[in-house]
Structure formats: structure tokens, C-alpha cells
Chains A and B, each alone.
Chain A
């Protein structure tokens, strides 16, 4: 078994309204910044022991599909690094 850290990024699917991101963008613009767009995402870091990188990825992907992301709203990425 080896120790891995998985990083899960959960984003809204394209086309799904993101009111918090819009509000954040407006606040940045009020502060005088110029920007074309702003998107928000949630990121989770998960430490786990696994036999290899593939099995760590598989388990974290299942965690993401079962809880961390809602398939109606979200797309997600999983990356895994050995510690």
C-alpha cells in the first residue's frame, strides 16, 4: 500500500447559472479590476492509502460520484499524486 493525495475539482456544468461567481465578479469590477469572466469551483483534497494510482483514482472517483458532485449540476476532475 502507498499513500496518495487525490485532488477533486467540482465545477458547474457549462450553461448552469453561477450567481455566487457573478456576484464575486461584480465585486472585483467594483474594486477596479478588469476581467472577462469568473468561474467558481469546489476543490477537495483526500489523503488515502491504496495499492496503486489506478485504485486510488477509482475509489476517489466513486466518492465523487456518490457524494461530492451532483451529476445534474456538476462536472468533475480527479487527479492523484503519490506522497
Chain B
């Protein structure tokens, strides 16, 4: 029983994620991508960072590395998978989740705190929140703008697969509260099945009371429910 946090060359939120998970009582361990998944893997995190130097497109190289075949097989068997930041880019590049995360509207790297509105509290990753709840998470990305064809976005919304949207402190989903130009302010989505999800904001950076806050704990607790 362990949540495997996959390390690629250039991952840099891997240790933070293990620490946050352990603080919440999960057994978690780093898994170097060339070593494959640990045999007792019961959950998978694709962590943040700059895998392969963001060459070509953020996440493009890691998404095509051999361990991702194992991740896909595990996801198909029902193992929960969460991609955070660079892990979200990898998840979309690997088609575990729909759409793509690309260059911010500002064309700049942005490291700031944002408000998110919980769009669907009926997934493992959001079950510890209420529908419409407003939470505060950090973002740290240069390629976080969610892009997807309009018809596919309509379908995602119809299927309730949006986890979070960027909003203001009162929960209003506005263009001003959209830090990176994401379509319809989307900050996180689920795959075909809701035990697979990706998000650009960093739950592991708001999971320890002494560092940053605890708003992100609910997302990581999804590993007990997924």
C-alpha cells in the first residue's frame, strides 16, 4: 500500500508531495521513472517540476517515457492518479486527461496564490470540500493555460469533469481572476473516470499548517477514497 510519486529528471515537487502525503498518514515513496512502479503501488502522483527541461512542450517528453505505459495500465485497473502542475501537463500530453496546458496568456512564469472554486465535490479529489467552496492554492507555472476544442469543453462541462475553476475571493469566476487565460477558468479536470485527475495549482504546497495553509489537504486525501 503505497502512493508512488514518480520522479523524472527535472521533477522538483516530488519530495514535497511525499512529505505532504506522509503528514496526512499515507504511505508514500519516490519512484524513479526508470525503475518502474513499486509492486505495492495503490496510488500515483505525477509531481510538479520541469521534466526534461520542458523541451518541445511542457510534459511532452515525460508523457512518452516507458513508465507512463505502466501508469496507464494502473489507471485502467482503477489505481488513482493525480497530476500536479508539470504532472498535469504530463497527464494531458499522455492523454490520461483531455486538453492541454500551454503558455500563459501573460507569456510569463507566474508564481502566486489564487482562489479556486470547487466545481464538483463528487470526485475523490474534491469530496472533502463542498460544491462551490472557495479555497486558496499557489500556482507556479509558465504553461498553465488550459486549452481544449470548444466542443470537447462543452462535453467536459456536461459530464461534470471540471474539478476547480479560478475565481476571485468571493467565488466569482471572472476574466480578472483567471491568472493564465485558461478556457472557462479551468484549473483542473478529470479523465474519463474520476479516479484520474490533473490540476495546475499545488495542493501539496498547502497541506502543512506551518507552511502555507491546509486548503490542499482535501485533494491529497483523495487517495483514500479514489
Contact = CB atoms under 8 A, between A and B. Distances in A.
Interface of A: 16-20, 22-23, 66-68, 70, 72-73
Interface of B: 56-57, 60, 64, 92-93, 98-100, 102-107, 145, 147-149, 181
Contacts of B145: 17
17 contacts: A16-B147, A17-B105, A17-B181, A18-B103, A19-B103, A19-B105, A19-B106, A19-B181, A20-B103, A22-B107, A66-B64, A70-B60, A70-B100, A72-B92, A72-B149, A73-B100, A73-B102
Nearest to A24: B107
Contacts of B60: 67, 70
A20, A23, A72: most-surrounded residue (chain B CB, <10 A): A72
A45 B139 CA distance: 36
A23 B107 contact: yes
A20, A23, A67: most-surrounded residue (chain B CB, <10 A): A67
Contacts of B57: 70
Contacts of A68: 56
A66 B56 CA distance: 13
B92, B93, B104, B107: most-surrounded residue (chain A CB, <10 A): B107
A72 B147 contact: yes
B56 A19 contact: no
Given A23-B107, A73-B147, 20 more contacts: A16-B102, A16-B147, A17-B147, A17-B181, A18-B103, A19-B104, A19-B106, A19-B107, A19-B181, A20-B103, A22-B107, A66-B64, A70-B57, A70-B93, A70-B100, A72-B92, A72-B98, A72-B99, A72-B100, A73-B102
